[in-house]
Amino acid sequence: MFDEIPRESLAFLPTPLHRLKHLGDSIGLDELWIKRDDLTGHSFGGNKTRKMEFVLGDARAIKADTIVTVGGLQSNHCRQTAVACAKAGFRCILLLAGEEPETYTGNLLLNSMLGAEIKFFPDDHLLTMHSRLDEVLETLKDFGLNPYAVPAGATMPVGVISYAVAMEELYSQTQNEGFTPEKIIVATGTAGTLAGLIVGAQMLDLDVDIIGVSVLHGAEEATLQVKNQISRIIDKYPEVDDFKPTINVDDTFLEPGYGIMTEGVRTAIDNFAKMDGIFLDPVYTGKAGLALMRMAINGDIKSKEHTVFWHTGGSPALFAYPELAKI
């Protein structure tokens, strides 16, 4: 799938797939598995490393020299962009929404260690950063550089297809384990990962219920964004036939807001760590983990249903949440 698209080798693939035995037992799921994209590799892994393989392949093909992207202060995407650039030899500029903190922790600390050039925008927030991207790009061009803009979360068709390829990887692993996935739970922010998985399942003709746990938008807006990403992929890549996607977004844990820790998220982080030694993150996978637990306890997942929790990474952000130490 997408074999002809230029790609940099950045991730350690395939990422492991294994059972979540103790957590599964505790919430009545006999067939609970985890796909470890928190182990995609360099600098603590995560889902953006898969996307950056194709994004940097594209940047190299047009002879770009500088990658510019946007995110929040603790953006996992920015950290994975910084490490991808360090490894592949691109200059990296990160535009972060928020005030420069006195102390760099978590992803921000790693970004500076990776040599990324960081610019802070105290009056902006995640959703206003794309106009900053355009401004900085124009300035860089004026200086004779050939910059390449990567939107938040590397959610652009060439990034999103990486998760169609990842679905193929998961399918092959589950076949080796003797099952076919029936449910997948994954965190969704900029919609790219979820859109890619849906495209991959369609290309493989797989009947799997993929549930995106939204941390950024309400279900209606998130669904629209996933739809939009899928349409862009259908338009760009002839190997993807037109189809009407089924999009399933769970926004139960959206409030009190992006990156704000709740007791529920703490419980999910705590359970995954103490039962199976898995570190979730406070912003994305903590909410997805909580949604998984809720679905299991409510009976929305049957005990024999083959369920994959897709871990999308983010653990360095844990170090920016000292309140977790009180669990």
Ligand X SMILES: Cc1ncc(COP(=O)(O)O)c(C=O)c1O
Distance of closest approach, residue 236 Cβ to ligand X, in angstroms: 17
Q: Which of residues 179-218 bind ligand X (CB under 6 A)?
A: 187-194
Among 155, 8, 135, which residue's Cα sits nearest to residue 71? 155
The residue from 15, 40, 47, 223 that contacts ligand X (CB under 6 A) is 47
Strands 209-214 and 248-250, bridge-based pairing: parallel
29 or 283: CB nearest ligand X: 283
Distance of closest approach, residue 116 Cβ to ligand X, in angstroms: 16
Among 55, 67, 49, which residue's Cα sits nearest to residue 6? 55
140 or 292: CB nearest ligand X: 292
162 or 202: CB nearest ligand X: 162
Alpha carbons 144 and 91: distance in angstroms, whole number: 14
- Rule CB under 6 A: is residue 153 a binding residue for ligand X? yes
Distance of closest approach, residue 77 Cβ to ligand X, in angstroms: 5
Place of tokens 């594209």: 58
Among 39, 17, 18, 40, which residue's Cα sits nearest to residue 170? 17
Place of tokens 């799938």: 1
The residue from 98, 157, 313, 316 that contacts ligand X (CB under 6 A) is 313
Distance of closest approach, residue 133 Cβ to ligand X, in angstroms: 16
Beta strands in 24-131 (DSSP E): 32-36, 66-72, 91-97, 117-121
Distance of closest approach, residue 218 Cβ to ligand X, in angstroms: 14
3-state secondary structure of 241: coil
- Rule CB under 6 A: is residue 281 a binding residue for ligand X? yes
- Please, is 89 exposed, middle or buried when counting C-beta atoms within 10 Å of its C-beta (0-12, 13-18, 19+)? exposed
- Rule CB under 6 A: is residue 286 a binding residue for ligand X? no
Distance of closest approach, residue 231 Cβ to ligand X, in angstroms: 16
- Rule CB under 6 A: is residue 148 a binding residue for ligand X? no
**Count of residues engaged in binding ligand X, rule: CB under 6 A:** 20
- Rule CB under 6 A: is residue 285 a binding residue for ligand X? yes
The residue from 46, 157, 282, 316 that contacts ligand X (CB under 6 A) is 46
Q: Is the peptide bond before 256 cis (omega within 30 degrees of 0)?
A: yes
Distance of closest approach, residue 253 Cβ to ligand X, in angstroms: 13
Using the contact rule CB under 6 A, the part of the chain among 27-35, 166-174, 268-276, 311-319 near ligand X is 311-319
238 secondary structure, DSSP code: T
Contacts of 205 (CB under 8 A, 6+ apart): none
C-beta contacts of 2-6 below 8 A and 24+ residues apart: 2/54, 2/161, 2/164, 2/165, 2/237, 2/239, 5/54, 5/57, 5/58, 5/158, 5/161, 6/54, 6/57, 6/58, 6/60, 6/61
Distance of closest approach, residue 192 Cβ to ligand X, in angstroms: 3
Beta strands in 44-131 (DSSP E): 66-72, 91-97, 117-121
Distance of closest approach, residue 222 Cβ to ligand X, in angstroms: 9
Residue pair 99/122 in contact (Cβ under 8 Å)? The answer is yes
140 or 213: CB nearest ligand X: 213
The residue from 24, 286, 314, 316 that contacts ligand X (CB under 6 A) is 314
Using the contact rule CB under 6 A, the part of the chain among 83-91, 244-252, 264-272, 280-288 near ligand X is 280-288
The residue from 7, 35, 50, 77 that contacts ligand X (CB under 6 A) is 77
Instruction: By CB under 6 A, name the binding residues for ligand X.
Output: 46-47, 76-77, 153, 155, 187-194, 281, 284-285, 312-314
